[in-house]
Structure 1
Amino acid sequence: MSKYLQLIAHPQELRAVLQWAIWHEPLYPRDPSKESDNLKRCYELLGYTSRSFAAVIEELAPELRQAVMLFYLVLRGLDTIEDDMTIPNPVKLPILRGFHELLTKEGWTFNGSQEKDKVVLEEFDKIIYEFSLLKPIYRDIIAEMTKRMGNGMADYCEDDDFNKKGVNTVKEYDLYCYYVAGIVGEGLTRLSVSGGSADPRLLENPHLHNSMGLFLQKTNIIRDFHEDLLDNRKFWPKEIWSKYADSMEDFVRPENIEAGVYCLSELVANALEHVPDCLYYLAAVKEQSMFNFCAIPQVMAIATLELVFHNNNVLTSQVKIRRGTSVMLIMRATSVRETYNIFQEYCHKIQARNTPKDPNYMRISIACAKVDQFIETIFPTRKEVKEKIAKEEKPEEAASTTEVLTIILLFAGTLLITSSLMLGVAWYFGARFDRAFAAIKENFLGIADAARDEL
C-alpha cells in the first residue's frame, strides 16, 4: 500500500510507471514459443532469483541474451553455495573451487542448500545443458570467470580473520568488491566484445570494467549497512570506520549518529571516485540493448548513493530508492548523453547537501567536480549554445519589464477610478469643493510666501 501512496504523492513517477506499463516495447522481444521447455525453465529460474535483472537481460539482443542469462544463473548458483552457512566448509570449499568444472558435468544438481535461491542448484542440470549449446567462446569466458570467482569466494570462506572481523583495509575492500562484482564486469565486457556489442579497446583498459563492478558493489555495501550488521556481516572497511567509532555497532546509538553520517560520507566519496571510469566505459558500448543493460544498474547506483548521502536512516533501517524513481531512470538511461545528465544531476544533489562541517567535504566536492569535468570533456558546452542562451534571456528581461509597467499602470488606473468615485459620492451628498480648494490655495500661498521671506 505504501508503494501506491508514494506514486500518488509523486505524479511524475506515477505517469512514468503507467507509460512503462502500457507503452513500453522491448527492442528485441523474447518469443517463448520458439524456445525449448528447458530454455523456458532457465528464464523462469532467472525471474525467481531477480526480477530486475531478468527484465533487462530479456531485452538483450538474442545471441547475447542467452549467454548473459546463463552467466547470471551460473554465478547465482555459485553465490548460493557461498552464502549458505548450513553447508560445512569441507563440503563447500571443493564445490566453490571446482564449480567451473561442474558446468560440463551432465546432470549435476545440488540438494543440500537452505538458501532462498536453492532451486537454481536443484535444477542446475537444465543450466548445464543450455550452457553446452553456447558458442565455445562464450563457454570459455563463463567458465574462466566462474573459476576465478569460485576460488576467490573459497579464499574468503577460509579466512577466519575476515569471517570474524570483516574487511580491514581499503585495499581489502577493493579486492573483496573485485571478487564479488569486478569479475562479473570483466566477464560481461568480454561477452559484449565477443558479440560485437562493445569497443574491443575496453579489454585493453581493465580498470574501466573493474570500476563498473566496484561502483555497484560499494553502493550496495553502503546501503545495506543495517541489514548486514543484523546478520553479523561487516563489509565497511575498518580503516575507514575506525576513524569515527570504536566499533561499527556504535553507529546505531543516538550519540554516535553524526559520526556515523561522516563515516558514511567517506564511503560515498570512495565510491564516487569510480564514476569517471564508469562514464568512460558506457561511452564505449555500441549496441543499444547492451548499453541499456549496462547503464540502468549504474544510474540506479548513483541515485542510491545520493539517497544515502548524509542520511542517518541508513544506520538504523533499510533505505531504497522509490519504485517510481527506478522506472523514470530506466526510461531515461537510453543514451550516453542522457545517462551523463542523470549522473550530473545526482552529483549536484550530493554537492548541494555537502557541508564544510563534514571532514570529507573537500573530497566529496572534488569527486563531484571531476564528474562535471569529465562530462564537459565529452560533451563540451559550445560557444554558440551559450550565446543562444544569452539571447533567449534578453526577451525574458524585456518581458519582465513590460509586466512591471503594466502592473504600475493598472494600479494607477484603479486608484484614479476609486478616487473619482469617492469624490463623486461626496459631491452628490453636498460637499463644498470650492471652499476646500480656496483653503488649500490660501495655505499653500502662505507657506510659499513664508519660505520666500526666509530666503
Structure 2
Amino acid sequence: MDAVIEDKVYQDKILVDVSRTFALTIPQLPDKLREVVANGYLLCRIADTIEDEPTLSLEQKNTFSKVFTQVVKGDKSAQSFAEDLYPLLSDQMLPAERELIQNTSRVIRVTHSFTPPQRAALERCVRIMCDGMPRFQRSASLKGLEDMTAMDKYCYFVAGVVGEMLTELFCDYSPEVHENCDGLRKLTLSFGQGLQMTNILKDIWDDRERGVCWLPRSVFKKAHFNLEDLTPNQYSPTFGEGFQYLISIAHTHLRNALDYTLLIPAKEVGIRRFCLWAIGFAILTLRKLHHHQDFSSGNQVKISRRSVKITIFLTNLAANHDRVLKFLFNLAAKGIPLSPLETSHISYGK
C-alpha cells in the first residue's frame, strides 16, 4: 500500500479517537472534500494541543506554535517537531491527543498531497490560528475577556478562521458553490462564532478548573456581576442576566449559520449535512443552556444521544428543502432570546 494511502487510513482512525462530533460530520462530505477537511481538523487539533498542554510555558507554546506553522508549510521537519513536543506532553492530555502529536509526520504527508489551493487554505488557517491563540493564552485568567470585541477576536482565532478555511475548500471544490462564494464569505465568521460561543457557554466550568474564563467582563459588569465571583452551585440572577445576553448573541449567529448553509446548492447534500448537524447540535445545546442557567457541570447541558440521532434523522430528510429546514430550526430555537449583532471589530487574518 502506498505510504500516503496508509497515512490517510491512519487519519480516518485517529479522527474518531480525537473527536466524536467531527468523526460524525466529516464523513458526510463528498470524497474529494472529506480527506482535506479531516486533515484540516487534525492540523487544528495539533495546534490546540500545544495551547492546551498545562505544563508548557507560554514561551514554549509560542515556540512550538511557530515551528508547527513552518512544518505545515513544509519549511521544518514534522518528525523533529514531534520528537521535541511529544516527551513534554503530560498525562492530562488524552492518549489520542498524545498519539496524534507522535504521528504528526503522517498527518503532514497527507497535507502535502493536496492541490495548491487546498494547501494554501490549510496553511493560512494554521498560521493565523497559531499566531492568534497564544495572544489570548498570555492574558488568560478567571477575570474573563475584556469585552465583546475581545470575545469576537478570540472566536475568530479558534473558530472563525476554520470557517474561512472550509469556505475556501467548498468554493474550490464546486463551481456551483463558488457562485455563492461572496455570500458565504460574509456569513462564515458568524457561523464559526455561533458554534464557538455555544462551546464557551457550555464549557464555563471545565474552563474554570483550568484557570481560564472566556466570557466578556463588560457584559457581566453591566449586570453588576464580577466573573471572579463565579462559583458552581451558587447561581446569581445577575450572572444569569449576562449569560442570557450571550445566549441571545450566539442564537443570532446560528441563524446566520443556517443562512450560510442555505447558500450551498441543494444538490450538495453532503456539505449541507456537514453544516446542518453542527448547527442542530449547537441550537439544542443553547436551548438546554437557556433553560438550565444554574448548571454546574457541562454534562448537565450536554444533549442526549437521542437528540443527536433525531437531529441527524430530520436534517437528512430535509437537507435539500429550505423551508422545512427553517421550520425545524425555528422549532428547536423556540423561546431562546435573540439580540442584534453589533458591528464586528474582528482583525481579519491575511
Tell me how many residue pairs correspond in the alignment: 321
Q: Which has the higher contact order (CA 8 A, sep 6+)?
A: 2
Counterpart of 2:146? Answer: 168
Counterpart of 1:59? Answer: 28
**Structure 1 residue 245: Cα displacement:** 4.4
**Structure 1 residue 278: Cα displacement:** 1.5
Counterpart of 2:16? Answer: 47
Determine which of 40, 59, 64 is the counterpart of 1:71: 40
* Distance of 2:160 and 2:105 partners within structure 1: 27
* Distance of 1:91 and 1:55 partners within structure 2: 33
Counterpart of 1:227? Answer: 206
Counterpart of 2:287? Answer: 306
CA contact (8 A) 2:160 2:189 kept: yes
* Distance of 1:168 and 1:53 partners within structure 2: 31
2:265 is aligned with 1:283: no
Counterpart of 2:348? Answer: none
Alignment of 1:70-219 (within 5 A): 70-103=39-72, 104=74, 105-108=76-79, 109=82, 110-111=85-86, 112-114=88-90, 115-116=93-94, 117-158=97-138, 160=139, 162-163=140-141, 165-196=143-174, 198-203=177-182, 206-219=185-198
Determine which of 214, 227, 230 is the counterpart of 1:248: 227
* Distance of 2:233 and 2:135 partners within structure 1: 37
Describe the superposition over 1:44-102 as per-residue Cα deviations: whole angstroms up to 9, x where unpaired. Answer: 11111012211221232111111001101111001100111211223221221342210
Of 109-118 and 252-261, more deviation after overlay is shown by 252-261
Amino acid at match of 1:201: N
Q: Return 5+ residue gaps in structure 2 as ranges.
A: 341-350
CA contact (8 A) 1:199 1:285 kept: no
SS at match of 1:242: helix
Counterpart of 1:237? Answer: 216
Distance 1:257 1:210, change over 3 A: same
Of 135-144 and 224-233, more deviation after overlay is shown by 224-233
**Structure 1 residue 249: Cα displacement:** 5.0
Distance 1:340 1:228, change over 3 A: same
- TM-score scaled by structure 1? 0.66
User: Share of identical aligned residues, percent?
Assistant: 24
Of 301-310 and 259-268, more deviation after overlay is shown by 259-268
Alignment of 1:302-381 (within 5 A): 302-315=283-296, 318=299, 319-334=301-316, 335=319, 336-350=322-336, 364=337
Distance 1:185 1:366, change over 3 A: closer
CA contact (8 A) 2:206 2:298 kept: yes
**Structure 1 residue 199: Cα displacement:** 3.8
* Distance of 1:246 and 1:324 partners within structure 2: 36
SS at match of 1:273: helix
* Distance of 2:338 and 2:44 partners within structure 1: 37
Distance 1:248 1:315, change over 3 A: farther
Of 273-282 and 131-140, more deviation after overlay is shown by 273-282
**Structure 1 residue 170: Cα displacement:** 0.7
Larger radius of gyration: 1
Describe the superposition over 1:202-235 as per-residue Cα deviations: whole angstroms up to 9, x where unpaired. Answer: 3455330000000000011111122222222111
* Distance of 1:128 and 1:254 partners within structure 2: 45
